[in-house]
Structure 1
Amino acid sequence: MFLSYRRSDSAGHAGRLYDALVDRFGEDNVFMDVDSIEPGEDFIEAIDRTIARAGALIVVIGPSWLTDRLRDVNDVVRMEIEKAFDHGIRVIPVLVDNAVMPTAGDLPVELRALASRNAVELSASRFQYDAGRVVSAVESVVDSAPVDLRSELDEPRVLAFDVGRRIEAPLDVVWALLIDFERAPEIYSMTQSLELLSDGPAGIGTRYRQTINVIGVGISSDAVVVVFDPPFSLVVIQLISGSPTTRLEYVLASAEGGATYITCKGWAFGSGWKLKAMAKASKLFDQHFARKELAELAVVAEQQAR
């Protein structure tokens, strides 16, 4: 997990919380700040790479956390939160020193989703209890990742495409349709069939087998949900022969006028020349499918919202 904080605002609390997280998850699994980046590494790439592999981003917010620095696109804290939203991972605000959650109006557009996240209050008088709540929140995310995928998710991957669309329908309507896997053949014209391979409502660990129509030929692949953060983010890993090939990250945000803006990023897995080949193939096909999928999702959502 990734711990985000301002040194001038909450270094002491962040340090104690870091110790609590390390006690539970181990030092190698907790990233605290730029001190963890090796000399000579590209700073932005290191943050992006670390957050992309994180199970959760913990944002420690003190009384002076909300400053004009958030308006600067190069502000480290802003960059960390934006990257977390981009990758669709869970964002957990932690309030210290009687700080209050910022409102959406206090934040840049790119960070406004933070205002809707449930926060944990961390007080000095009951630190152990409150820190335990943070640890439990992280456990619910990290420990629920499918066990057989944890090692594969560390494989090299590259961003193949990034598409987005405004949908004239409320966030909850779009989210409900996005996770209604059984209706996929009805909503998306390229989906021939979808068979659920797991029981229960949609969530982390949900598995399904999807058959896509490609130039008249049905191509099937399995998929598993690895991030499920309603109604903001959904991450699905596509599998062939049990190995990950593509990571699809859907991120939703409320837009002006009661609309929703949804993005879909596609990451290709592989190594060496295979990674480049997978990325090129994903950009050629999966990007087209994602654009068409978002357009058809918009049609159904907008009809339902009328």
Structure 2
Amino acid sequence: MTPRTTTTAGVGTPGHPAGAALLTVRELRVSYPGEGRRSRRTEVLRGVDLDIRAGETLGLVGESGSGKTTLGRAVLGLVPIASGTVTFDGERIDKAATARRRALSRDLQVIFQDPYTSLNPSLTIGDTLAEPLIGQGADTQEARGRVGGLLDRVHLPADAARRLPREFSGGQRQRVAIARALALRPRLVVCDEPVSALDLTTQRTVLDLLLEIQEQTGVAYLFVSHDLSVVRCMSHRVAVIHQGEIVESGDTGQITGSPQHPYTRTLLLSSPVADVAEQRRRREQRAAARAASAD
């Protein structure tokens, strides 16, 4: 996939100056308790720093267990933070009370990885999309009136509102999840591996939809993925996370074209390619790189 070269520099959104950080994370640390009563806590994030500007996509890439999903959840207030700060539009939110967190959901939303478990199977699609609107104070009639527009935005037919999730494919369910995330017109969406559970053709369709929505609305994305090739086509900038630390960050072309850190180079070699011989060569290079880093 071709690296995304469009820059957000000089482009702002209403109420937010161009170039200013919408989200700022500083020295963020998250740890989980061990299994036994006397076990030491496991530090999952170790002093992470990152910034996301309005209208920008920051790709956060790393292998399973690197801490990338925990970072997204920490931004959303879904995991406790040991230390550090999370600032959204100039306001510290890392210690926000429950009521404030509920209010922040207007601006901060999430798209989860699995479209099969992220939707309530007993609710129609219309009820699923109306629920966050009603939760933020809209009356039922107003909420249902906006459902059609949300379905249209993600290219689903209006009659989808009357159907249940089981009647849709994985890609269509993920479109519903995207519509739900957009319902409150957020300014930042955490995309937590949003296409990893989909086949390659459906992945491309969903990625194109996310790009289209960003161009239309100016929403910012924290795009979390293990796949550097996906991050490359989606992101203006990339941050590489390894064992709870950001080991390399910069413009997408720089990180994916000439990575400096050995771990980033290993991730790049892990990206699948169509050519069988090239894929074999990459596997050999990856194995050599892992062996060298272990010495």
Structures share a fold, TM > 0.5? no
Give the TM-score normalised by the residue count of structure 1: 0.29
Q: Which has the higher strand share?
A: 1
More relative contact order, 1 or 2 (CA 8 Å, 6+ apart):
2
Q: Which has the higher helix share?
A: 1
